[in-house]
Structure 1
């Protein structure tokens, strides 16, 4: 795939700390990364029930819906406080890799990296005989919770990070779009699509909605379609590597 991206300008909108690996991958394959982080991720310090630390080891499963949730959880709670009986479920490969950084492994990973499949396969494959904890962000979707509730599964939720729009970069995005449209726009979560639409550059946004946009998975694709994007590409593998591969394939097909 040497120079598979052929000097195409690719807009990267994901959060700043996560954008560098994406940008490096684009550059390594001959693309031109345009990095404008449209989200901010801030870990939340737990201020709730003071006995939660003792209760964590009582959960049969702790379920992580993102790598951000893993990092913020283990920054707040030391893994040594958890019993060996606690098992972890993660939504996908990147979240699984984040978990390994803290010296533990996932006992459940769905076959497709999205919340709908995770909830379905988890309930089909796992015998649940203890309490469940879902670790999430402030703007996380409620897919897993809804599925659990419909199947009478009891669970607790723990919000470990805040996801907010990076309004400081709205002007930068506006100016960048005025100077010329990128060849591709990338979205790595529904929140990045929403943040893009909040930039206040209506004319440029309308033009951008006609460009190829690459969404990391089906939930992001759904949100992009709802908000007016019409030329949406979704990789087979819901990772940034899969996104880049999808772009390269599209370029090759279009010549």
Structure 2
């Protein structure tokens, strides 16, 4: 394929999440002819468990269901199990938010019983009402910014729900200056937001220069929760997929540049 036929031909795309050169978002932008500019505005680290959370993990074989809300949750939970000398009870039922979370679990030999059609906690909570029974024990594994919608819904129908906040989302302070430098010197055409936290931190750094930073840019959002954050600041949304994955987001970006909508 000639470079001139690529949808992102020479366009600079700002990526504001942690992503190495092998990450699907970085590779996808390159394959479409774009130049990825990586300035992570969020990072993730394993959280020190509270005494209650530690006890919850120790009782791992007593649960009927495990709910994973993200790939990070899977990664840090398995790391914690290893440190505690525990193994995951693979005969239990598992629900996961997102096809990538499912794929990661499958790669660990863990079969996933349910993934919602739309990759949000709200859709997972609604669907699991039909799949669980009162009295079942459920462990929800999540990050510190995840909403508690799944746990609340399952408690309402009589399930015994415990949660473990296994990781924290943090702001890499060193990237404040880098973001301003990239916006001024590189002038990216595309801004890609993959979480509400990336939106909040971008706006915080931009300050009274927000309108200047977003003027003439194509703003891409991964899904409805991130859309809500963008709308809160009055920012336009040019691209947002119906299925909340990186692959679908890039497909919609291609359609945007080809004038499909």
1:121 aligns with 127
Q: Matched residues in 1 for 2:195 and 2:236: separation?
A: 17
Q: What SS does the aligned partner of 2:28 have?
A: helix
For residues 207-241 of structure 1, the C-alpha deviation after alignment (integer angstroms, 9 at most, x for no partner) is 33443211111111111111221234211221111
Counterpart contact for 1:235–1:243, Cα < 8 Å: yes
Q: What SS does the aligned partner of 2:202 have?
A: helix
Runs of 4+ in 1 over 4 A off after TM superposition: 149-152
Q: What SS does the aligned partner of 1:132 have?
A: strand
Q: What SS does the aligned partner of 2:242 have?
A: coil
Q: Matched residues in 2 for 1:235 and 1:95: separation?
A: 18
Distance 1:182 1:24, change over 3 A: same
Structure 2, unaligned runs of 5 or more: none
2:212 aligns with 207
Task: Note if 1:3 corresponds to 2:1.
Answer: no
Task: Note if 1:76 corresponds to 2:80.
Answer: yes
Q: Matched residues in 2 for 1:151 and 1:61: separation?
A: 15
Distance 1:41 1:14, change over 3 A: same
Q: What SS does the aligned partner of 2:235 have?
A: coil
Task: Note if 1:42 corresponds to 2:48.
Answer: no
For residues 94-132 of structure 1, the C-alpha deviation after alignment (integer angstroms, 9 at most, x for no partner) is 111121232212111001111111111111244454111
TM-score scaled by structure 2?
A: 0.87
Question: In the TM superposition, what is the alpha-carbon distance from 1:22 to its structure 2 partner?
Answer: 1.1
Structure 1, unaligned runs of 5 or more: none
Q: Which moved more, 1:89-98 or 1:123-132?
A: 123-132
Q: What SS does the aligned partner of 1:253 have?
A: coil
Q: What SS does the aligned partner of 2:59 have?
A: helix
Q: Matched residues in 1 for 2:181 and 2:90: separation?
A: 52
Task: Note if 1:189 corresponds to 2:189.
Answer: no
Task: Note if 1:65 corresponds to 2:69.
Answer: yes
Task: Note if 1:88 corresponds to 2:94.
Answer: yes
Q: What SS does the aligned partner of 1:81 have?
A: coil
Q: Which moved more, 1:112-121 or 1:77-86?
A: 77-86
Q: Matched residues in 2 for 1:121 and 1:209: separation?
A: 37
Q: Matched residues in 1 for 2:224 and 2:97: separation?
A: 13
Report how many aligned residue pairs link the two structures.
254
For residues 66-108 of structure 1, the C-alpha deviation after alignment (integer angstroms, 9 at most, x for no partner) is 1000000001114963334421110110111121232212111
Counterpart contact for 1:65–1:91, Cα < 8 Å: yes
Counterpart contact for 1:43–1:162, Cα < 8 Å: yes
Counterpart contact for 1:19–1:37, Cα < 8 Å: no
Question: In the TM superposition, what is the alpha-carbon distance from 1:35 to its structure 2 partner?
Answer: 0.9
Q: Matched residues in 1 for 2:124 and 2:103: separation?
A: 17
Task: Note if 1:237 corresponds to 2:240.
Answer: no
Counterpart contact for 1:16–1:40, Cα < 8 Å: no
